[in-house]
Amino acid sequence: MAVLRVKAPADTDPHELAAALTRALSTDRAHPLSAELEWLPAWREPRRKSRRLAFVAVLSGPQPESELVRVADRCARRTVRGRYGKKYSARVRPAGDPEVSALWCAFRGTPHRTG
């Protein structure tokens, strides 16, 4: 599992962004991945022109976990910057925190693949 944090415009629909990121991850030419993303709703509404969104991601592919995170980070960053401009970005990190697994299960249930 990984945590995907995105800085995007305030009026961004998180579900539309999740679909775009999932599509970008699965259609990457060099390293296609299988990804499931779940948006973690924010507790507060954005007050500025930008908004920070967090997703929990289950990534799978033939590469080791560190390579999956690196490929997902590159692909997510390229997708967000291509969609919204250089001012916005994305960052992916491995989810080592047990709280992340609990959040995923609370929103989606048990993932199909965890590796």
The domain spans of the chain are 2-53+63-108
- pLDDT tens, position by position, for the chain (115 residues)? 788 889 999 888 988 999 999 898 888 777 878 888 878 776 566 667 888 888 878 788 777 888 888 888 999 999 999 999 999 999 988 877 666 666 666 665 655 554 4
For 43, other C-beta atoms within 10 Å of its C-beta total 5
For residue 106, the model assigns a pLDDT of 63
Cβ count within 10 A of residue 5: 15
Whether the CB-CB separation of 58 and 105 falls below 8 Å is answered with: no
**Which pTM value belongs to this model?**
0.76
Q: How far apart are CA 1 and CA 46, in angstroms?
A: 27
Q: Give the rounded distance of the alpha carbon of 38 from its chain centre.
A: 8
